[in-house]
Amino acid sequence: MTSKNIPVQDRLILALDVPTIEQARELVELMGDTVNFYKVGLELFMSGDYFAFTDWLCERGNKVFFDLKFFDVPETVRSAVRQLRNRGAGFVTVHGNDAILRAAVEEKGDLKILAVTALTSLDQTDLEDLGFKCNVEELVLSRARRALEIGCDGVISSGLEARRLRDHLDDKFLIITPGIRPVSNTEDDQKRTVGVEEAFSNGADYIVVGRPIRNAEDPRAKAQEIQAQILRFFSSQA
């Protein structure tokens, strides 16, 4: 497991994957002090007033994760990161080859660059369809190792691969794990999933949770339940 000194409350990142800024604000206000860290992605980016919303989050004292998966020619990614680095966000995702990652790292300032390894909605068959001739673990480890060498701060990785990353890479490297679900997940498009305690036991520093909280009968209570799980886990490891 990770040895980093991260506030337990911040280890849960809530994905604000909702259609409108109004819905996102309502969800944040509903969470109150239960959640401090929010992922803001492409769906909200396309809805308008994205940066006014992220500025509002920062003014509230919340931490912000820009999940925009920059993937373009290196100079375009370089310019995009330069534009973003003074917006108050903690993390931003970048997708692509070494040149793209390097361009992002060169402009990051205080922003932490997270390299995308393999989306948690992809399984081995999907990767083979995309032309990859290796297994998922090998692909994730290869991409993570290169990202670390380039100077990225961490990776987005399924909890299924987190243990191997933690075994092979510098412990200072951040692992952010999405796709947190019950052990058996048949309800949505996430395929390579793990539970809360398994993700942290395998080495994740942060978990990203979206639908299990947003779709709960009582989203705030569900977030509190997950925070309690996280606290119990780290208290038991102390």
Q: How do the domains of the chain map onto residue ranges? A: 8-237
Assign 9 a pLDDT band (cuts: 50, 70, 90): very high
162 phi/psi in degrees, rounded to 5? -60, -40
Closest Cα to residue 192, out of 102, 88, 122? 122
List, by residue number, the catalytic residues: 69
Pairing of β 154-156 and β 206-209:
unpaired
Distance in angstroms (rounded) separating the CA atoms of residues 196 and 75? 38
> What count of other Cβ atoms lies within 10 Å of the Cβ of residue 7?
9
Confidence at residue 58, expressed as pLDDT on a 0 to 100 scale: 95
Instruction: State pLDDT tens for residues 65-97.
Output: 999 999 999 999 999 999 998 888 899 999 888
Closest Cα to residue 44, out of 30, 61, 24? 24
Assign 186 a pLDDT band (cuts: 50, 70, 90): very low
Instruction: State pLDDT tens for residues 136-146.
Output: 667 778 888 99
Q: Using a pLDDT cut of 70, give the percent of the chain over it.
A: 85
State mean pLDDT over 104-115: 95
Tell me whether residue 144 is exposed, middle or buried, using C-beta atoms within 10 angstroms of its C-beta: 0 to 12, 13 to 18, 19 or more: buried
Looking at 1.20.1560.10, 3.30.750.24, 3.40.120.10, 3.20.20.70, the CATH number of the domain 8-237 comes to 3.20.20.70
